[in-house]
């Protein structure tokens, strides 16, 4: 028997203007969880795409069970027992859960698809994974967390011997994370190997056996998790000491800038009778369990969702954000949770993605498009947000998730908003990039801007905010001062209306 189920040896991949992988090595043992870590842009996703045949490597060898393989497509990889749960979900939203799981390999009875077998096979997988969903439910009705569990079930359905999980817990609550870990431990007992890509340090200690660290497209180290500390992992990832996970807070909240009164969204189920105030220079966190409707709250404030009742006051004057257009005019900006679905224009370049929210600035009524100003502002986004890219005409979909997120945040900063709404802004972001985003939030607050941040990560809510608004089942369960609260109090409030 081979010591390794997977060996990737001296993998090199170049794109125009950048060497994405430089003789990278990765060796994974069967029945283990191997963490793959590195900052956004380190090359983790590129390495996995070379494994799956999505990218053709320029040099190096890939061995599966000791035999050299050259997958030409992701389907080829799946047929050989290698599957992947992507961070950015690729699901057919309008179809049923069971259709998504068996798409492209439906069992037939004669000329017709065997619906009973699809249903029963899906139920059997769900039972083994303790997933409580109706296979006939439409995918579009699922929250992100449940869609993630469907993708995991799909990977398991291939009877894979190697499963790559890319940021699998980015949308999961603590209970759901522990559920996922039970699934992973069960897979390990069956001899399945898992490559676990994550930026959450506390998860690596809990679930991983070994960790490989990449930086700037190069292999840096592979260590047993038992023999390396969190601080050592961070230092290897970023190539420098990162003494604190959160910047020192220097902002001082002032007078009220936004007053929300009895806000209720038009379509149910949604938010009901929400009232609170947001202060100048304040970072207000929004906490709650999955289904608490935190996203619905910021989308209703931004005009993305229609309100049935309630009022908004900006600097004491009533405003009506009846659509995102009016919200932007009123000085609001929203960084959405799902950057691939609602954040980026994937096939277009960084310049377009940087300037699109501020397009009126570059098209005065009396002249042609000001391309020089567009280029200057795009350079500002790239430089101020530390975006790793060869040039501003690079297609944004070719960037890592963290660099895409930086472009989106830079886009909204170009509109010079008074109130920045952030929905899971550090989802899938490495520790170094997280620190930069936290620092940016504090700098905005120092300039008397207001920041409202939805987050599922308790440490960052407690580490960067001034107050925390807790949602429970669409209602406001309470607002607490960050310096005076505890994780236990926030969890108690989160369950208040369940």
Q: Indicate the pLDDT class of residue 242, thresholds 50, 70 and 90.
A: low
Same domain, yes or no: 295 and 156: no
For the record, the structure tokens of 152 come out as 């995991």
Tokens (6 digits) for 339: 């950057």
Q: Is 23 left (phi over 0), alpha (psi -120 to 50) or beta?
A: left
Domain boundary among 209, 238, 267: 238
C-beta of residue 21 within 8 angstroms of C-beta of residue 47: yes
User: Which tens digit of pLDDT belongs to each residue from 10-47?
Assistant: 999 987 767 889 999 999 999 999 999 987 778 888 89
**Is residue 67 included in any domain, yes or no?**
yes
Largest CA distance in the chain: 74
Judged by DSSP in three states, 453 sits in: strand
Helices (H), 158-266: 174-189, 201-207, 230-238
Domain boundary among 238, 264, 293: 238
Distance (Å, whole) CA 193 – CA 257 = 52
| Alpha-carbon distance values, 85 to 47, 99, 386 (Å) | 15, 17, 28
Contacts of residue 304, defined as CB under 8 A and 6 or more positions apart, other chains included, come to 324, 334
End-to-end CA distance of the chain, in Å?
51
Asked if residue 479 belongs to a domain, the reply is yes
Domain membership of residue 247 (yes or no) is no
Q: Same domain for 231 and 298?
A: no
- Identify whether residues 341 and 230 lie together within a single domain: no
Residues 6 or more apart in contact with residue 451 via CB below 8 angstroms: 282, 283, 284, 419, 420, 422, 441, 444, 445
207 and 80 share one domain = yes
| 165 and 291 within one domain | no
Q: Which of 143, 170, 183 is nearest to 87 (CA)?
A: 170
pLDDT tens digit sequence for 383-412: 888 888 888 898 898 887 778 888 998 999
Alpha helices in 109-268 (DSSP H): 115-129, 144-157, 174-189, 201-207, 230-238
250 in a structural domain? no
Indicate whether 474 and 386 sit together in one domain.
yes
Q: What is the pLDDT of residue 443?
A: 92
Q: For the chain, give the mean pLDDT.
A: 88
Q: Same domain for 231 and 301?
A: no
Tokens 């020192």, residue located = 248
Q: Is residue 347 part of a domain?
A: yes
Are residues 217 and 105 part of one domain? yes
Global confidence as pTM: 0.66
pLDDT, tens digit (0-9, with 9 covering 90-100), for 407-452 = 998 999 999 999 999 999 887 677 777 888 899 899 999 999 999 9
pLDDT digits (tens, 9 = 90+) for 323-376: 999 999 999 999 988 777 777 888 889 999 999 988 888 887 667 788 888 999
| Residue 246 counted as domain residue | no
Question: The CATH number of the domain where 425 resides is what?
Answer: 3.40.50.300
Instruction: Please count the structural domains in the chain.
Output: 2
Q: What is the DSSP letter of 246?
A: S
- Domain with 480, as residue range(s), is 256-494
Tens digits of residue pLDDT in 112-141: 888 899 999 999 999 888 888 999 999 888
CA distance 23 to 361: 45
What are the tens digits of pLDDT across the range 181-191? 988 998 899 89
For residue 121, being part of any structural domain is answered with: yes
Measured CA to CA, the distance from residue 430 to residue 426 in angstroms comes to 8
Q: So what's the pLDDT on residue 241? A: 57
Query: Distance between CA atoms of 71 and 171, rounded to whole angstroms?
Result: 30
The answer on 170 and 267 residing in a single domain is: no
Asked which of 185, 210, 238 is the last residue of a domain, the reply is 238
Each residue of 188-215: pLDDT tens digit? Answer: 998 999 999 987 778 888 999 999 999 8
Whether 289 contacts 469, CB under 8 Å: no
Does 314 share its domain with 424?
Answer: yes
Does residue 354 fall inside a structural domain? Answer: yes
166 with 286, same domain: the answer is no
Note whether 136 and 227 are same-domain residues.
Answer: yes
């Amino acid at each position: 028997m081979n010591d390794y189920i997977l060996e990737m040896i001296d993998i090199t991949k170049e794109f125009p203007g950048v060497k994405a992988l430089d003789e990278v090595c990765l060796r994974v043992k069967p029945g283990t969880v191997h963490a793959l870590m590195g900052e956004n842009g380190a090359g983790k996703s590129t390495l996995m795409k070379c494994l799956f045949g999505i990218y053709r490597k320029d040099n190096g060898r890939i061995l599966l069970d000791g035999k050299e393989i050259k997958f030409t497509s992701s389907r080829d990889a799946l047929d050989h027992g290698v599957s992947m749960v992507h961070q950015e979900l690729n699901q057919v939203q309008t179809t049923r859960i069971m259709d998504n799981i068996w798409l492209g390999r439906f069992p037939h009875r004669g000329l017709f698809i065997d619906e009973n077998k699809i249903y029963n096979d899906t139920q059997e997988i769900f039972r083994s994974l303790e997933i409580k969903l109706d296979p006939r439910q439409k995918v579009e009705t699922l929250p992100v967390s449940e869609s993630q569990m469907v993708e995991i079930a799909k990977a398991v359905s291939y009877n894979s011997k190697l499963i790559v999980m890319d940021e699998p817990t980015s949308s999961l609550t603590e209970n759901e994370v522990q559920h996922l870990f039970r699934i992973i431990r069960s897979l390990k007992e069956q001899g399945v190997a898992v490559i676990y890509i994550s930026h959450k340090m506390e998860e690596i200690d809990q679930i991983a056996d070994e960790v490989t660290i990449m930086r700037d497209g190069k292999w840096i180290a592979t260590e047993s998790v038992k023999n390396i500390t969190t601080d050592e992992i961070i230092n290897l990832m970023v190539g420098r000491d990162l003494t604190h996970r959160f910047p020192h807070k220097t902002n001082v909240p002032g007078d009220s800038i936004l007053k929300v009164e009895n806000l209720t969204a038009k379509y149910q189920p949604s938010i009901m009778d929400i009232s609170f105030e947001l202060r100048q220079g304040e970072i207000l966190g929004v906490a709650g369990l999955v289904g608490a409707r935190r996203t619905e709250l910021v989308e209703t404030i931004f005009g993305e969702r229609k309100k049935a009742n309630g009022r908004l006051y900006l600097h004491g004057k009533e405003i009506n954000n009846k659509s995102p257009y009016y919200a932007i005019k009123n000085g609001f900006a929203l960084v959405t949770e799902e950057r691939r679905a609602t954040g980026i224009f994937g096939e277009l370049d960084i310049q377009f993605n940087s300037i699109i929210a501020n397009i009126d600035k570059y098209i005065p009524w009396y002249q042609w498009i000001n391309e020089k100003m567009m280029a200057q502002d795009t350079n500002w986004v790239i430089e101020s947000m530390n975006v790793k890219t060869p040039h501003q005409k690079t297609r944004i979909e070719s960037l890592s998730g963290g660099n895409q997120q930086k472009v989106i945040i830079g886009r909204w900063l170009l509109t010079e908003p008074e109130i920045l709404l952030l929905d899971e802004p550090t989802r899938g972001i490495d520790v170094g990039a997280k620190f930069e985003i936290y620092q940016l939030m504090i700098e905005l607050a120092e300039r008397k801007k207001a920041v409202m941040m939805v987050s599922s990560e308790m440490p960052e809510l407690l580490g960067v905010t001034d107050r925390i608004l807790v949602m429970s089942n669409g209602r406001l369960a309470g607002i607490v001062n960050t310096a005076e609260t505890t994780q236990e109090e926030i969890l108690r409030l989160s369950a208040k209306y369940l």
